[in-house]
A and B are shown apart, each in its own frame.
Chain A
Amino acid sequence: MRKNMVVVEGSYAVAHAVKVCRPNVISAYPITPQTHIVEDLAQFVADGDMNCEYMNVESEFSAISALIGASAAGARTYSSTTSQGLALMHEVLFNASGMRLPIVMTVVNRALSAPINIWNDQQDSISQRDTGWIQLYAEDVQESADMTPQIYKLAEDEDVLLPAMSCMDGFILSHVYEPVILLEQSLTDEFLPAYNPEFVLDPKNPMSFGAFADPSTYTEFRYKQEKAMGVALKKIEEIANEFKDIYGRYYGGLIDGYVLDDAQIVIIAMGSIIGTIKDTIDELRKEGESVGLLKVRSFRPFPTEAIRKSLKNARVIITLDKNISIGKNEGALCTEIKACLYNTDNRVPVIGFMLGHGGRDIPIHMIKKIINKAKLVEKGIFVESEFADLREDLA
């Protein structure tokens, strides 16, 4: 173990990462499994270790609304939520993006009700896909922590100016104790400059925020958000490399590969399931199977070009989704990967598997079962998309 590693809870590692990013205003409402992050931050403030305004608001709706005001007034802002809380924020999420306010939020991914369930899947953040927020997904605790200054730098870039979600799987990452390196204040100050926005609410230089746009002007607001997402595609890579230069750690930029280049069977996934897939691949590679992994780190902006390039040698593509678009019978990643490949010559079968909903465990043998099923494609049996982990007694 490295000398400066400590064993802490995932939530603490993220809260600590938030602290060294020096936000001016934090506004949050407690919801499982996000609570430990905001509790740790409250304690930092209570102990005088953090100099910021910490707002205990009456709902997630007001949590994110308060940050609209704070960000427009020039503050670096932070919130964290999950599941129902994120759903309650839905309307405000569009607003934050349309107003180009670089609010940063950790989403501790959790299932949505009904039935009520506090465990992990990614239905919550996936359901906010089209709100105009950047969405990055972390693989482990260290990446969740390290993603925090990276995502601030990205969101606040003057050519990006979009709000951003750093997504970490609930309980699996938020409540696990792992050895991590807590982000150093000095390195973070070097990596992440102070937030100095050009446009702020200031009586000395009055500006209007959130104007009314009629059909003659509305479209270009959307166009510019999309253009900013395009800039973010480049910046995510640059920022990941810059982070590597300063801190010495790297998790991929938009995507990352694991024994990917020569792999005939490629699994594509996001979040903490990546670790399980890597272990599965290690076992299968020993048995001579040509299996590799493509980790999608940035879901919005979606790295279409990077993914296309990385799948040149794939014969079968498997997507794993902890979410479902009910009525389409597939998860978002499945749909996006299919769309990403459609206008190319690379017409390999894409097979979607939905699993891990509401916190159902995903063991190695399940990933193996999925791979075996996908291999049947070569014999002409085609599975479009299905639940991988149904209980037959309940289904």
Chain B
Amino acid sequence: MSLLKPGHRGCAGCCDALAGKFMLDALGEDVIVVSPTGCLEVFTTPYPESAWGVPWVHSLFENAAAVASGVEAALKALGKKNNTKVVAIGGDGATLDIGLQAISGAFERGHDITYICVDNEAYMNTGIQRSGATPLYASTTTSPAGKVSIGNPQHKKNMPAIMAAHGSPYVATASIAYAPDMMKKVKKAAQVKGPTYVHVHAPCCTGWKFEGSKTIEVGRLAVETAMWPLYEMENGEITGVRKIKNRKPVEEYLKVQGRFKHLFGKEDKTEDIKKIQAIADWNAKHFGLE
């Protein structure tokens, strides 16, 4: 049985539950997990129950990296570090927005921790509000599409680049739609000494508005369109890229999600979709995906 036990309160088709399961499948039992506040935290630990088959701690929304660094320091001080991995797993809001300072501090201090961002591109736990990870033109409850709005006006923050700039020895992007690839990267991140980072793309059926049975399909489209490039960086250099054969146009990815449906209404949004296509084109070129 998985170390993330059944019976938790995740939605059918939940991306966080898959990410948590794949993470533990990759890491095994000798791990201490830290979660910031978010869906994963809430649905796995309704007191007095817990879905975690490994030691797990949640403190607050913005401090998971600091808590993880304290766990690591304690293990070292008590002579209990051995091979135990300390891993934080948090959402995009906890990572790119409110928790960024604590992550920066922990990475700069060089703790032997792994931080995994499960990026479903908005604050899903509070009801689909935009975050720094929300992509261009996605409609969320705080960046809604409307008569004079085309949805979220900002570009997604490039968090892996920020983490690589901290001198992290290992930074990778992954997707829950590519489980073996994600597990390989999580395992490697945990094995590399020092602060390492894995950014996992995670389509949320509730927030992105698609059927719960399509989570993997949507995740694959993000990779196949180059909206989500899969790559590895070691000491700041790109060392591995998942190539794409026959890259699909971004419309194929956008069309299956309710959060982009305003791009495909009566009004012609071709020019706006081109801007999104340009992001995918940049990714393909920059990371050499083709």
* 25 residue pairs bridging A and B, Cβ less than 8 Å apart: A25-B77, A51-B77, A52-B77, A55-B109, A58-B101, A58-B102, A61-B101, A62-B66, A62-B102, A62-B105, A68-B63, A68-B70, A69-B72, A70-B74, A71-B74, A73-B78, A74-B74, A74-B80, A77-B70, A201-B56, A206-B53, A208-B45, A208-B55, A212-B41, A212-B47
Given contacts A59-B101, A70-B74, A73-B32, are A211 and B58 in contact (CB under 8 A)?
yes
Chain A residues closer than 8 Å to B70, beta-carbon distance: 25, 27, 55, 65-71, 73, 77
A114 close to chain B: CB less than 8 A: no
Total chain B interface residues with beta-carbon distance under 8 A: 46
Chain B residues closer than 8 Å to A75, beta-carbon distance: 73-74, 77-78
A201 close to B66 (CB less than 8 A): no
A residues adjacent to B (C-beta < 8 A): 24-25, 27, 51-53, 55-59, 61-62, 65-75, 77, 91-92, 95, 99, 201-203, 205-214, 217
A57 close to B109 (CB less than 8 A): yes
Q: Please measure, in the bound complex, the distance between the C-alpha atom of A275 and the C-alpha atom of B58, giving whole angstroms.
A: 44
B127 close to chain A: CB less than 8 A: no
Q: Please measure, in the bound complex, the distance between the C-alpha atom of A209 and the C-alpha atom of B84, giving whole angstroms.
A: 18
Name which residue of chain A comes closest to B43, CB basis.
A212
A92 close to B60 (CB less than 8 A): yes
User: Which residue of B46, B63, B65 has the most chain A CB atoms within 10 A of its CB atom?
Assistant: B63
Q: Please measure, in the bound complex, the distance between the C-alpha atom of A52 and the C-alpha atom of B30, giving whole angstroms.
A: 24
User: Which residue of A65, A69, A73, A208 has the most chain B CB atoms within 10 A of its CB atom?
Assistant: A69
Name which residue of chain B comes closest to A214, CB basis.
B46
Given contacts A203-B31, A206-B56, A212-B42, are A69 and B62 in contact (CB under 8 A)?
no
B168 close to chain A: CB less than 8 A: no
Q: Please measure, in the bound complex, the distance between the C-alpha atom of A211 and the C-alpha atom of B30, giving whole angstroms.
A: 21
Q: Please measure, in the bound complex, the distance between the C-alpha atom of A59 and the C-alpha atom of B68, giving whole angstroms.
A: 15
Cβ of A73 to closest chain B Cβ, rounded Å: 4
- Identify B67's interface contact among A51, A68, A74, CB under 8 A: A68
Cβ of A214 to closest chain B Cβ, rounded Å: 7
Chain A residues closer than 8 Å to B47, beta-carbon distance: 211-214, 217
Given contacts A24-B77, A212-B45, are A69 and B55 in contact (CB under 8 A)?
no
B52 close to A69 (CB less than 8 A): no
- Identify A95's interface contact among B60, B75, B105, B109, CB under 8 A: B60
- Identify A72's interface contact among B46, B57, B76, B104, CB under 8 A: B57
Q: Please measure, in the bound complex, the distance between the C-alpha atom of A59 and the C-alpha atom of B42, giving whole angstroms.
A: 27
B73 close to A53 (CB less than 8 A): yes
Quick one: which of B1-59 are within 8 Å of A by CB?
29-32, 34, 41-42, 45-48, 50, 52-59
Given contacts A61-B102, A72-B57, are A208 and B50 in contact (CB under 8 A)?
yes
A208 close to B52 (CB less than 8 A): yes
Please give me the 6 A-B residue pairs with the lowest Cβ-Cβ distance, nearest first.
A69-B70, A58-B105, A66-B70, A65-B63, A210-B58, A73-B74
